[in-house]
Structure 1
Amino acid sequence: MGIPLLKGTEIDRLRLAGQAAAGTLAHIASRLVPGISTADIDAWVREDTARRGGTPSQLGYKGFPATVCTSRNQVVCHGIPRPDERLAPGDIVNVDVTTCLNGFHGDTSATFFIGEVSPEARHVVDVARRCRDAGIAVVRHGAKLGDIGAAIQELAHAEGCSVVEEFGGHGIGRSMHGPPHVPHVGRKGTGITLRSGMVLTIEPMVNLGRPEIRLLPDGWTVVTADGSLSAQFEHTVLVTREGCEVLTPVCPPVV
Structure 2
Amino acid sequence: MRVQIRGNCNYSTPCTTSAALLGYEQRQSAGANLNPTLPKRLKVDAILEATFELRFDSEASAVPEILFGQLVSTPAWAGYRPARLPTADIPISVRKSEQNLMHAPSIELTSNDGAVKVRFGPYSIVYSRVGKYPGWDPTFRDEIRATVERIFELLPDIEIKRIGLRYVNALRSDLHEIRNYDDVDLSVRLSNEVINTGLNVNYKLRENDNLEIICRVASAELAQGIVPENATIIVDLDVYTPDGHLPLDATAISEWVEAAHDIEKKNFFKILGDDATQRLREDA
TM-score tier after normalising by the smaller chain length: under 0.3
Higher strand fraction: Structure 1 or Structure 2?
A: 2
The structure in which a higher percent of residues are helix is 2
Structure with larger Rg: 2
Structure 2-normalised TM-score?
A: 0.25
Scaled by the length of structure 1, what TM-score is found? 0.26
